[in-house]
Structure 1
Amino acid sequence: MFPGAVADRDEGSFAVVGAPLDASTSFRPGTRFGPRELRHAAHPFEDYDQSTDSCFTDCAVYDHGDIHPTDDVSEYLDFLSGTLAELAGEGLTPLVLGGEHTVTIAALRALDPDVYVCLDAHLDLRESYAGNPLSHATVTHHALDIVDEAIILGARSGSKAEYERAEVADVTLVEPADVPSWEFDRSGDLYLSVDIDAADPGFAPGTGTPEPFGLEPPTMHDVVRTVAPEAVGFDVVEVNDRDDGQTAALGAKLLRAFVYENGQ
């Protein structure tokens, strides 16, 4: 159970759902352990949040447990999407613990937001990667089949074709140096995804494809707190078990920040 997620399903406002998919990780595997690491890292955190004058245990968070993958990724995403849609239909805001970034596709299908906001080191605008159309490198491409706009914050890696695609009007790319001054001014339902590799690997080494010259944790924290009130769902993805827990600690802290702000 995610620490502090003490609500029952029928009284919850948020639903933690583990999605330990680790099928297309292209460098360092281990995202299957992400949900476990994120839950574990949250144990020492204080319940009280001074910024919102609220306690996590009072935020009505329910932990649905993990939905374990099958060999068929497409089938798994369909099942995960159905579960998230069911929870949302009951009035719970999904909080997905990845797993590789591919699981975000399921959440977007379930929630059908207008805007996709993503903290990510990579553009993820490929139609396929290594012959796989459901690779973790294709998430934003799939998102644009659902949303009106994708906002990618902190990206610093992509192919030439991806950067050309990012110049189209339905994509907003904010490079790392510009994220601290980025002003959020969108309306409509949005979905917030935190690919933990948006952080500089000096702060978050426990991820599959670390990319130097990334974001600092306070910047990511500010983005989450700013965007959370307008969000219909949230995930933190691409955490693995290949460090001493600092990456999972960052991800778990960002999830809690989302809950505090979204619940206001």
Structure 2
Amino acid sequence: MFPGATTDREAASYVVVGAPLDATTTFQPGTRFGPDRIRRFSESSDDYDHRTDSRFTELGVHDAGDVHPWDDVESYLDHLAAELRGITFDDAVPALLGGEHTVTYAGVEAVDPDVLVVLDAHLDLREDYAGNPWSHACVTRRTLDVVDHAYVIGARTGSAAEWERAEADDVTVVPPENVGEWTRSVQDGDILPGEDSSVYLSVDIDAADPGYAPGTGTMEPFGLSPRELRDAVRAVAPHADGVDVVEVNDRDDGQTAALAGKLLREFVFTHAHAATRRD
């Protein structure tokens, strides 16, 4: 169980679901261990958050366990999306723990947002990778079949074809050096849509510089600091109806999983605080 996720499912405002998919990782595998590691290395986090003056155990978080994958990735994503859609039907926010980044497609299918915000080192805009359109290297491209616009925050690598696709009107790429400015613009209300529109937030942990988060499959130097990731999550959270944290594996001493867990907690604290202020 994710620490502090003690609310009954029927009363939950946020429902954590693990998706330990590890089918298309292209370098270092191990994302199947991601959900359990995020839960484990979140155990030391304090219940109380001084910034929002709230306790995680009082914010209505439930952990529904894992939806275990099988070999047919597309079929698994359909099933996972159905599970997550049940959460949205109950007016709760799905919080998905990956697993490889491909699981984001299921989250987007369930929430059906207007906008995707993805923190990621990679563009993930390939039409297919090694002939597979459901590779984790294609996930943002697949979500563009659902969303109107994708913001790829912190991206610093991609193929020539991906960079060409990123020039289209439905994609905005924010390089690492501009993420702080983008975050401030979101906080000022200048970028994301208003209350009548929906946003889904995906945090690929490799958006972080590998010096901070080495426990991921495809490390990419020159990335974001934990504080930059935190600030971006805080900025987007009030707008979001779903969230995931993905691409954590078991190839470090837990620092990547600890960061992932902290970012999920920052999302919940901020989202709940914003909802209270709106009420």
Where 1:263 maps in the other structure, the secondary structure is helix
Amino acid at match of 2:53: D
Deviations 1:73-126 (A, max 9, x none): 111001000000011101210000000000000111111000000000000000
1:124 matches 2:133: no
Residue by residue, what CA displacement relative to the aligned partner does 1:121-175 show, whole Å, maximum 9, x if unpaired?
0000001101111000001101111111000000001001100111111101000
Matches within 5 A, 1:17-32: 17-32=17-32
Question: Does 1:186 find its partner at 2:195?
Answer: no
Question: Mapping of 1:105-254 within 5 angstroms?
Answer: 105-182=105-182, 183-184=185-186, 185-187=191-193, 188-254=197-263
Secondary structure in 2 aligned to 1:178?
helix
- Which secondary structure does the structure 1 equivalent of 2:101 belong to? coil
Match of 2:120, as an amino acid?
Answer: D
1:58 match: 58
Task: State the alpha-carbon separation in 2 of the partners of residues 186 and 136 from structure 1.
Answer: 25
Which residue in the other structure is 2:34 paired with?
A: 34
After TM superposition, which residue ranges in structure 1, 4 or more long, deviate above 3 angstroms?
none
> Match of 1:214, as an amino acid?
G
- Give the Cα separation in 2 of the matches to 1:143 and 1:53: 35
CA distance, structure 1, for counterparts of residue 247 and residue 124 of structure 2: 13
Q: Provide the C-alpha distance between the structure 1 equivalents of 2:99 and 2:92, rounded to a whole number of angstroms.
A: 21
AA aligned to 2:108 is L
SS at match of 1:57: helix
Amino acid at match of 1:190: V
The residue number in structure 2 matching 1:84 is 84
Instruction: Return the alpha-carbon distance in structure 1 between the equivalents of residues 206 and 214 of structure 2.
Output: 8
Q: Which residue of 1 aligns with 2:44?
A: 44
* Alignment RMSD: 0.5
2:276 alignment partner in structure 1: none
- Aligned partners of 1:186, 1:72: CA distance in 2, in Å? 35
State how far apart, in whole Å, the 2-side matches of 1:161 and 1:134 are: 17
2:199 is aligned with what amino acid? L
Uncovered stretches (5+) of structure 2, i.e. residues with no partner: 274-279
Which residue identity is paired with 2:128?
A: S
If the length of structure 1 is used for normalisation, what is the TM-score?
A: 0.99
Tell me how far 1:239 sits from its aligned partner.
0.1
Q: Supply the distance in 1 between the matched residues of 2:177 and 2:171 (Cα, whole angstroms).
A: 18
TM-score, structure 2 length as denominator? 0.94
SS of match in other structure, 1:102: helix
Which amino acid is 1:242 matched to?
Answer: R
Aligned length in residues = 264
* Offset of residue 186 of structure 1: 1.2
SS at match of 2:131: coil
AA aligned to 1:213 is F
